[in-house]
């Protein structure tokens, strides 16, 4: 099994100024514990994707997910309750995901796994994508969110090629069916000077959701990445289709889009 860095960096650089742990109420898993579980679940999802025949049945997927909970000495109910709370506190949630990235990379280094995952996400992300309007989404364009799935997140990762321009606009879109809770969308850009910006949305109900990020016209981007996340209820099955990540050139509405962009702190302060 191979695991790619794009999967591991499924929220890379989503790091806000640290929020005090005192904000996390009793009964909610702490940031470090939650990050560890998310890291383990992301690896579990990679296992399912790369060993599909072994994990083609719901029972085997569920067993893998339960093994992650057992390893971390938590119950599914604790994880579900905690994810719902973090989903309502996005500033803390993005810190947790950034820490999860670090943990996953540390695991891979320890196990000397340095090859690509058997998905098209990494190879496609480094190829030149020509044209003024290009779909950069390389994963499947349809996704099911259900309690028996190892993870509840779809991620993307695209590296700047010769065709990107300052001020380009990235649009993350998808159509949701059957969602009882908000579906979370996020796009992050890292610039060559090390600064990072992001936009997020929480789409309620069903139908189309589009999230747009206009790059800084005065900076050069290194990469764009982010996620679509949904935490299903115990018996809930949510479908997301027509997923895309479209890169277009700057237009007349770019300045207005820039008003919705937020900046990240340069470092994640999880050790403080």
Inter-CA distances, 53 with 25, 42, 124, 134, Å: 41, 18, 24, 33
Weakly modelled stretches of the chain, pLDDT under 50: 2, 4-22, 112-128, 266-272
Question: What's the pLDDT at 172?
Answer: 95
Whole-model pTM above 0.85? Answer: no
Helix, strand or coil, per DSSP, at residue 229: strand
Q: What integer pLDDT is reported at residue 173 of this predicted model?
A: 93
DSSP H or E stretch at residue 36: helix 31-50
Q: Which domains does the chain have, with CATH numbers?
A: 5-263 (2.60.120.680)
pLDDT value of residue 145: 84
Q: Determine the pLDDT at residue 229.
A: 86
As given in the structure block, the two tokens for residue 78 are 């604790």
Residue that has been written with the tokens 């989404």 in this structure: 137
The pLDDT of residue 9 is 46
């Amino acid at each position: 099994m191979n695991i790619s860095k794009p999967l591991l960096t499924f929220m890379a650089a989503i790091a806000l100024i640290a929020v005090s742990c005192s904000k996390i109420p009793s009964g909610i898993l702490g940031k470090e514990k939650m990050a560890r579980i998310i890291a383990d679940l992301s690896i579990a999802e990679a296992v399912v994707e790369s060993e599909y025949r072994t994990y083609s049945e719901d029972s085997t997927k569920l067993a893998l997910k339960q093994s992650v909970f057992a390893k971390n000495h938590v119950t599914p109910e604790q994880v579900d309750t905690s994810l719902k709370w973090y989903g309502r506190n996005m500033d803390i949630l993005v810190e947790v995901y950034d820490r999860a990235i670090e943990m996953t990379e540390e695991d891979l280094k320890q196990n000397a796994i340095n090859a690509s995952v058997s998905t098209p996400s990494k190879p496609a992300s480094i190829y030149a994508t020509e044209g003024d309007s290009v779909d950069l989404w390389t994963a499947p364009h349809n996704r099911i969110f259900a309690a028996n799935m190892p993870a509840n997140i779809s991620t993307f990762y695209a590296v700047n090629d010769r065709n990107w321009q300052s001020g380009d606009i990235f649009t993350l879109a998808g159509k949701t069916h059957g969602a009882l809770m908000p579906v979370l969308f996020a796009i992050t850009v890292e610039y060559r000077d090390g600064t990072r910006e992001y936009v997020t949305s929480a789409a309620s109900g069903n139908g189309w959701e589009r999230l747009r990020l206009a790059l800084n016209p005065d900076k050069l981007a290194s990469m764009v990445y982010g996620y679509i996340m949904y935490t299903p209820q115990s018996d809930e099955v949510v479908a997301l289709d027509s997923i895309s990540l479209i890169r277009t050139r700057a237009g007349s509405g770019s300045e207005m889009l820039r008003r919705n962009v937020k900046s990240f702190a340069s470092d994640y302060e999880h050790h403080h």
